[in-house]
Amino acid sequence: MVAVNILTTKGLTKNYGGIKANTDIDFELQRGKVTALIGPNGAGKSTFVGMLCGRFPATRGEVFFEGQNISSLPAHKRIQLGIAYTFQITSVYSGLTLLENVAIAARRRLGKDFASVTEKVDSVLAQVGLSDRAYQIAGDLSYGHQRVLEIAMGLAQDPRLFILDEPTQGLAETEIDDFVKLIKSLAGETTILLIEHNMDVVMRTADQITVLEFGKTLASGTPDEIHRNEAVQAAYLGTAADA
């Protein structure tokens, strides 16, 4: 039977000297679902995600991906297994066209098969709504469109798990609406972990939400369950703090 969860953590903990950034986090990512990770500023989200993708070694605890213990694997090995993280994807090459940027990302998985790379690039640019800009120089894009290009570069690698770190930052309202449509179009195909400060985006896209506070799991559940959770309201939803 195929595992329901594509990624799980057990007791994941990160200490920096005497500072506890994350403490004993047990976490599950359901396959094919969109899970949002939220919490007040300083809640430990970046450190936790860094341990998932191999940027930071855990002080203790384990990370399992597709049933495999990947706790000791470096970031590039986790990428090879199918974990893409927008922070890890090579920065946009400002002097190259959008087509060339996405092709570089696609070749990481497809190699030098020109026909397959071309097909993937065309498909991904259409998927994110950038086909009409394929031959535009990436450095000439607005900041918001560069963020969308980064997402395209991630999708070109056909990730099993795609971690998006505040992808709507800097996007205009119309661009945010397009992003929401894109995430919904990926439902069931790609498992997505969304770290997002825009609660409207979270509530519109997420199937599940996990809330961190002071480096620990405060609550997990559906958007409705999280919205009704009094502890979450007190710690986060009722404040103006960033996620």
Residue owning tokens 């690698």? 157
* Average model confidence (pLDDT) across the chain: 90
For residue 63, what is the enclosing H or E element? strand 60-65
Domains of the chain: 1-89+159-243 (3.40.50.300), 91-156 (no CATH)
The confidence score (pLDDT) of residue 73 equals 96
State both tokens at 216: 């620990």
Reported in sequence order, the residue ranges of 119-190 that DSSP labels E, i.e. its strands, are 161-165
Q: For residue 1, is pLDDT > 50?
A: no
Q: What's the rounded Cα separation, in Å, for the pair 179 and 58?
A: 32
Q: What's the rounded Cα separation, in Å, for the pair 29 and 161?
A: 9
The pLDDT tens digits for 124-161 are 999 998 999 999 999 999 888 898 899 999 999 999 99
Q: For residue 185, is pLDDT > 70?
A: yes
Integer CA distances (angstroms), 163 to 35, 97, 145, in order: 10, 24, 18
Please state whether the predicted TM-score (pTM) of the whole model is above 0.75. Answer: yes
